Amino acid sequence: MKVNFDNVTIVLKGAKYPGNVGSTARCAKNMGIGKMIVVGQNELDNEAVLQMATHEARDVVEAIRYCNTLDEALAGFSWVVGTTARKGAGRGPAVLPRGMAESLVGLSQENEIALLFGPEDTGLTNDDLRFCQTVVTIPTAGFKSLNLSHAVMIVCYELFVARMEKDLPAAPKLATVRELEAMYAKLKEVLLAIGFFLPENPDYWMMHIRRLFARTTLQAREVKIIRGICRQIEWYGDHKKRNNA
């Protein structure tokens, strides 16, 4: 079993140069990926994009979807892979591209997957990475900064060659980013209400909760169960307050 590229989309956040977007489209075409999203940049010179994409990848360029925000771009995806050259406690544990690719073979059969890349100069922020279930770092000999399209090609190539034994079951249909974000918002609200978080810094602890759930494969019905538990906690708290009033 190989990665189902029909369910894979390259997402570029804040790409600054039309040539890099065109080169990325060319890399996507090389590896069999036909879908791209560009976030926060709707004024790229289309001719410059096409020039670097070449006529072979023109169909990828013409199908690019443009979004204003990352929330909008990622809402329908069930698994998001973020790429970063920077490491740190706030950015989460990172895996190598090969290990990432192998884990996505089964997931890609029934789930929409986003490969997320940040701006050429700064990369993805910690806030961007909160959407990601997997964070990937591409190892280098020393100089860590890679050209955007080079990073895209390395990640896509590893996906292209990754395989899984045919008798292993594919992953089930997972919850989308939209469903997960609604769950996280409700969790944060309830945990603040019951005093689990300090109101001065709830996002620090939410980061750890996100990482906990990122190690699982939550399905939509399981997300609904967690949100239902949160609503019941809210109801119980309100009920106690009324009885003690």
Share of the chain above pLDDT 70, in %: 96
Reduce the DSSP state of residue 203 to 3 states and report it.
Answer: helix
* Range 49-78 average pLDDT: 93
pLDDT at 168: 64
What is the CATH topology of the domain spanning 5-161?
Answer: Alpha/beta knot (3.40.1280)
pLDDT at residue number 193: 87
**Phi/psi zone of residue 92: left (φ > 0), alpha (ψ -120 to 50 degrees), beta?**
left
- Domain assignments of the chain as residue spans, ordered by start: 5-161, 177-244
Q: Long-range contacts of range 163-169, CB-CB < 8 Å, 24 or more positions apart?
A: 163/1, 163/2, 163/105, 164/1, 164/2, 164/102, 164/105, 164/106, 165/1, 166/1, 168/1, 168/106, 169/106
pLDDT tens-digit readout, 83-128: 988 777 666 778 899 999 999 999 999 999 999 999 888 889 989 9
- Which element (helix H / strand E) includes 35? strand 35-39
Q: What is the per-residue pLDDT for 69?
A: 93
pLDDT score of 118: 92
Please determine, for residue 229, whether its predicted confidence score (pLDDT) is greater than 90.
Answer: yes
Q: How far apart are CA 74 and CA 80, in angstroms?
A: 8
| Of 85, 84, 91, 81, residue with least CA distance to 114 | 81
pTM equals 0.85
Rg of the chain in Å (alpha carbons): 20
Instruction: For 136, list phi and psi in degrees, rounded to 5.
Output: -115, 135
The fraction of the chain above a pLDDT of 90, given in percent, is 58
Correct CATH for 177-244 of 1.10.8.590, 1.10.420.10, 1.10.760.10, 3.30.930.10: 1.10.8.590
What pLDDT, on a 0 to 100 scale, did the predictor assign at position 166?
Answer: 66
CB 22 within 8 A of CB 150: no
pLDDT digits (tens, 9 = 90+) for 2-61: 899 999 999 999 888 899 999 999 999 999 999 999 998 777 888 999 999 999 999 999
Q: What is the mean pLDDT of the chain?
A: 89
